[in-house]
């Protein structure tokens, strides 16, 4: 194979999906981060170029970039495994096009981390399993938010809707994605740090809330498999995290009410916010829901972006560069 490098398209993701805090997530078709990754025999990891919008900045020190940290953890493991070939010189050159706004709540750091380890695995001849790739990418999440959660990196790498059954040991499974499931997103351009949005959460919850929440999670999973949109709709309820985080997002409850009135199945905070997501059955309803999001936000003095996307069943995509 004469491949020089690869171009990776790594998707935005929605973590939690209302009732599944830290365990459920899904991948979107848009927006995606684009990464050009080249293997070289010059040891080390070099981020040669980062292209991004003007409305945000990224750390100047490349070692504080999630792509660096995630790739470094993969490379370290790779070199440990090359017992008989320790002298082999391997390095990577990276160009990153950030289309997913950091701090948006749609898995910006996860897209970069997932994309880079996925790409490196291909260039190295696929020595690692999907679960190992998720672990490497989780190191990027640890850097970005202080916790190595997997509910964004797992759907970015595996595609579709994923469920983290357990973190110790890491046990992640892909769920069924109903064909007509679409998603509308509004990203209010205010900053909410994941670490702050986690700090305000209670460490103990009521048994009555736990019972309601695990009923919803179980029913959401059943609804996805049965392609039962009414059951999905009834299950999109979070009695534990949303009531606390909702106050961070302007017009959150108005958004939910108005989107459901127009036909959304339901929704909530995307990851730790500030983005809000709504699920719909079909493209037509999803577009109408996105329109309503625009109507709710246009009178507010808050900049925002909206997206309408089907569920991305593949996850990270890539093209060869010869």
**What residues line the site for ligand HSE (CB under 6 A)?**
15-16, 21-22, 149, 151-152, 194, 197-198, 271-272
Residues 191, 130: Cα–Cα separation, whole Å: 32
**Residue 307 CB, nearest distance to ligand HSE (Å)?**
16
Whether 34 sits among the annotated catalytic residues: the reply is no
Q: Which of 194, 285, 290, 308 is catalytic?
A: 194
**Residue 21 CB, nearest distance to ligand HSE (Å)?**
6
Residues 99, 111: Cα–Cα separation, whole Å: 10
Whether 194 sits among the annotated catalytic residues: the reply is yes
Which is nearer to ligand HSE, 272 or 309 (by Cβ)?
A: 272
Q: Which of 139, 141, 162, 285 is catalytic?
A: 141
Helix%, strand%, coil% for the chain, nearest 5: 40, 25, 35
Residue nearest to ligand HSE (CB): 271
Which is nearer to ligand HSE, 5 or 315 (by Cβ)?
A: 315
**Residue 242 CB, nearest distance to ligand HSE (Å)?**
10
**Residue 109 CB, nearest distance to ligand HSE (Å)?**
8
Q: Residue 36 is inside which H or E element, if any?
A: strand 24-40
Query: Is the backbone of residue 266 left (phi > 0), alpha (psi -120 to 50) or beta?
Result: left
The 8-class DSSP code of residue 101 comes to P
Structure-token pair, residue 104: 């948006």
Strand extents, DSSP E, 41-167: 44-52, 91-98, 161-166
**Residue 234 CB, nearest distance to ligand HSE (Å)?**
22
Which is nearer to ligand HSE, 22 or 34 (by Cβ)?
A: 22
Cβ neighbours for 13, distance < 8 A, ≥ 6 positions apart: 25, 26, 27, 28, 106, 107, 110, 111, 151, 152, 153, 155, 156, 271
Which is nearer to ligand HSE, 85 or 199 (by Cβ)?
A: 199
Which is nearer to ligand HSE, 139 or 151 (by Cβ)?
A: 151
Residues marked active site are found at 141, 194
């Amino acid at each position: 194979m004469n491949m020089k490098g690869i171009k990776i398209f790594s998707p935005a993701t929605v973590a939690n999906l209302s009732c599944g805090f830290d365990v459920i997530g899904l991948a979107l078709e848009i927006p995606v981060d684009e990464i050009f990754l080249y293997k070289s025999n010059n040891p080390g990891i070099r981020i040669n170029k980062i292209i991004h919008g003007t409305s945000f900045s990224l750390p100047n020190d490349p070692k504080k970039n999630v792509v660096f940290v995630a790739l470094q953890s993969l490379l370290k493991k790779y070199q440990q495994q090359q017992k008989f070939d320790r002298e082999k010189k391997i390095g990577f050159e990276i160009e990153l096009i950030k289309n997913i706004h950091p701090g948006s709540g749609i898995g910006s750091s996860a897209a970069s981390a997932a994309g880079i380890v996925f790409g490196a695995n291909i260039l190295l001849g696929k020595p690692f399993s999907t679960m190992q790739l998720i672990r490497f990418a989780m190191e990027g999440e640890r850097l970005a938010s202080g916790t190595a959660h997997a509910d964004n990196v797992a759907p970015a790498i595996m595609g579709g809707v994923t469920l983290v059954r357990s973190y110790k040991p890491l046990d992640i499974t892909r769920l069924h994605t109903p064909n007509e499931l679409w998603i509308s997103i509004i990203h209010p351009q205010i900053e909410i740090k994941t670490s702050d949005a986690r700090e305000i959460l209670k460490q103990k919850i009521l048994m009555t809330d736990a019972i309601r929440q695990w009923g919803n999670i179980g029913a959401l999973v059943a609804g996805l498999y049965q392609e039962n949109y009414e059951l999905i709709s009834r299950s999109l309820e979070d009695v534990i995290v949303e009531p606390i985080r909702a106050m961070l997002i302007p017009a959150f409850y108005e958004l939910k009410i108005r989107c459901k009135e127009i036909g959304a199945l339901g929704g909530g905070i995307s990851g730790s916010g500030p983005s809000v997501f709504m699920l719909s059955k079909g493209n037509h309803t999803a577009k109408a829901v996105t329109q309503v999001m625009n109507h709710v936000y246009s009178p507010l003095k808050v900049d925002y972006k909206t997206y309408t996307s089907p569920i991305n069943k593949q996850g990270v995509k890539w093209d060869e560069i010869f």
